[in-house]
Amino acid sequence: MDYLWSPWRYRYVAQKEPRRDCVFCTKAQQSTDQENLVLHRGLKNYVLLNLYPYTNGHLMIAPYAHVGELGALEDAAWREMADLTRKAEQALQKAYQPEGINLGMNLGKSAGAGIADHIHMHVLPRWHADANFVSVVGETRVLPESLADSYSRLKPYF
């Protein structure tokens, strides 16, 4: 039998109680960007790597404002989020040369939002056949690059 190890996920899987604090608000307030995987800080939003990525280079853009609906986000923050989404696409193209890119938001818990009270845009590179059997059968993702390496690869483009 073969085993795939992902010890970096244990802290998340073993968490008994739901988080009471907002991870996006907490990361926005901390000054250790590399440690928190924050790639860029704008005026109204910031760009960070997803701690539990679907693919290497999986980014998120989150507003500093703690809002759970697009309608609650001020216009300037929405415009900056759109601009940073374009910048993220360009950075991923340069750093990873993907065959495609997924953009998306899950608004609300029923829509799949892991953190429903703080909107965030996902931007992730995709390659043909990257959703392999392991994700479907084993509920495990195989990522060939560490988060630290992804950070180092993408940071110059922000």
Catalytic status, residue 120 = yes
Of 134, 128, 121, residue with least CA distance to 97: 128
* Of 66, 120, 122, 128, catalytic: 120
How many Cβ atoms are within 10 Å of 96's Cβ, its own excluded?
20
Q: Cβ atoms within 10 A of the Cβ of 23, count?
A: 16
Residue 132: both structure tokens together: 């392999």
Q: In what order do the strands lie in the sheet with 59-63?
A: 38-41, 45-49, 59-63, 121-126, 100-104
Point out the residues that are catalytic: 120
